[in-house]
């Protein structure tokens, strides 16, 4: 926006930037007192012109006002109040006791594989902050490899007993050898 030269207000004397839309006519700043002074100044300037001095006087002006009042009866005498409200009152609705007719599925949660896939995809997209297929695919491969290591099935993993889900206690558990190698939501750092 282009800056215009500052002007001195005719009323308060302070410097101000005129509005670019009215800079050729603006003589007062935007302070409330200066706006009132500006209106008085413009009215007086308008009345100083000979053609405007008797603008509101004379029989033709009286006739003009009389005709206008006949066309607009009651204008200014009372405040018009709409007969109907702008907004209808809301009718209250009775709330009935509703029963939960749904029933629990008797199958185990693990058996519902389609639900697990949806939950896994939603969880991964939430963790990495992206729903792009390429980002999610790389994250799924990382999580799958980590899961195989935990279960002792993947490369670099050590089998844990006869059963693949054998748990160890906190005292016998050793720290993961490559715990810092798995990073979620960003590329690995370092070489």
Beta bridge partners, 7, equal: 16
Output the pLDDT for position 136.
82
Q: Interhelix angle for 133-151 vs 113-128, to 10°?
A: 110
pLDDT recorded at residue 166: 47
Among residues 152, 139, 131, which one has the least CA distance to residue 188?
139
Give yes or no for residue 110 having a pLDDT over 70: no
Q: What is the mean pLDDT of residues 91-103?
A: 65
Q: What is the pLDDT averaged over residues 66-71?
A: 92
Give, rounded to a whole angstrom, the gap between the first and last alpha carbons of the chain: 50
Q: Supply the pTM of this predicted model.
A: 0.33
- pLDDT of 104 reads 53
Closest by Cα among 101, 100, 118 to 109: 118
Confidence of residue 9 (pLDDT cuts 50, 70, 90): very high
Please state the separation of Cα 31 from the chain's center in Å. 33
């Amino acid at each position: 926006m282009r800056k215009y030269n500052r002007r001195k207000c005719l009323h308060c004397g302070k410097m101000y930037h005129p509005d670019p839309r009215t800079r050729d006519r603006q003589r007062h700043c935007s302070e409330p007192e200066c706006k009132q002074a500006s209106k008085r100044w413009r009215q007086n300037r308008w009345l100083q012109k000979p053609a405007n001095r008797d603008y509101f006087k004379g029989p033709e002006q009286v006739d003009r006002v009389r005709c206008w009042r006949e066309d607009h009866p009651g204008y200014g005498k009372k405040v018009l109040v709409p007969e109907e409200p702008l907004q209808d009152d809301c009718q209250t609705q009775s709330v009935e006791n509703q029963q939960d007719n749904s029933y629990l599925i008797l199958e185990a949660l693990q058996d519902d594989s389609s639900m697990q896939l949806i939950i896994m995809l939603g969880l991964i997209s939430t963790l990495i902050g992206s729903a792009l297929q390429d980002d999610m695919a790389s994250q799924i491969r990382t999580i799958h490899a980590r899961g195989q290591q935990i279960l002792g099935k993947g490369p670099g993993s050590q089998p844990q007993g006869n059963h693949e889900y054998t748990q160890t206690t906190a005292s016998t558990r050793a720290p993961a050898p490559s715990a810092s190698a798995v990073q979620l939501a960003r590329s690995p750092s370092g070489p």
